[in-house]
């Protein structure tokens, strides 16, 4: 896990803003390409608000093609990056 500056992801009035310079390389894109893909709807995102012992935390996940990046915004505004497991494609074996 790694942490990022609190300004990298902000939450205000229920709106989440992510710094393109932080997110783009996580998805294998430049900041300009990320913005273009977002306008085209090519970036999927999910935000989840924590409940019970996780109340005050918000997890955000972004997906682009085969890449994904997840971070948790802590109650104090700090951002903790989550490392997702790398999924390897199944190897196909020939049926003889």
pLDDT at residue 76 in the model: 87
Q: Which residues touch 73 (CB under 8 Å, ≥6 apart)?
A: 9, 11, 16, 57, 58, 59, 60, 79
Q: What is the pTM of this model?
A: 0.76
Question: Between these two residues, 89 and 20, which has the higher pLDDT value?
Answer: 20
pLDDT of 3 above 80: no
Summarised one tens digit per residue, pLDDT across range 46-96 is 999 999 999 999 999 999 998 999 999 998 888 888 765 555 555 555 565
Residue corresponding to tokens 């894109």: 29
pLDDT at residue 75 in the model: 86
């Amino acid at each position: 896990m790694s942490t990022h500056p609190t300004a990298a992801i902000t939450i205000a009035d229920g709106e989440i803003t992510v710094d393109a310079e932080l997110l783009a390389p996580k998805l294998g894109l430049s900041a300009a390409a990320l913005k273009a893909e977002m306008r085209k709807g090519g970036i999927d995102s999910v935000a989840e608000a924590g409940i019970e012992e996780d109340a005050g935390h918000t997890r955000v996940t972004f997906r682009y093609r085969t890449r994904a990046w997840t971070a948790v915004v802590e109650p104090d505004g700090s951002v903790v990056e989550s490392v997702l497991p790398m999924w390897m494609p199944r190897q196909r074996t020939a049926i003889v």
